[in-house]
A = this chain, B = another copy of it.
């Protein structure tokens, strides 16, 4: 258990996948390729390096499993501390804005491992970042900088179109997330 520095997105992604069950590095790579590939695509060797780091931080445990006809493999299991770390990350809505919103999408994808409010908070923060970005783009459109070319303007239109469409998506999914949050709260109290 080492010093608690901030994890990389790859490490959080692996924690997130481990949250739904024990797995080997190889299988995590396969699972990542099937599920989160469009949001986060770590290479296999990247995963093999991340997992021991999680163990060193006490966020996962590993055990060796012997196999016939294959090299032994290490399977990893998330710990209590790992789940807490994952949850904290899923609840943290201060992510830096980046193109494509891939980290936001990753958090949304893994939102089942956090309280149902977390996804809604992420959505709000995402909306806010999108609006700032759209404002900046619209400002550039109104007041073109000096050497602006046709190409610049067209590239700018791309950003504006994407931001607007994504803001539309935000509005359309908010009620779905709210419904899901109510459903989860019900099934939590009913149990």
Contact = CB atoms under 8 A, between A and B. Distances in A.
Nearest to A154: B173
Contact of A155 (B99, B109, B152): B109
Nearest to A158: B169
Contacts of A185: none
B149 A112 contact: yes
A118 to B, nearest CB: 10
Contacts of A20: 147
A169 B161 CA distance: 7
Contact of A99 (B34, B100, B172): B100
Contact of A166 (B112, B149, B158): B158
Interface in A91-124: 99-102, 105, 108-112, 119
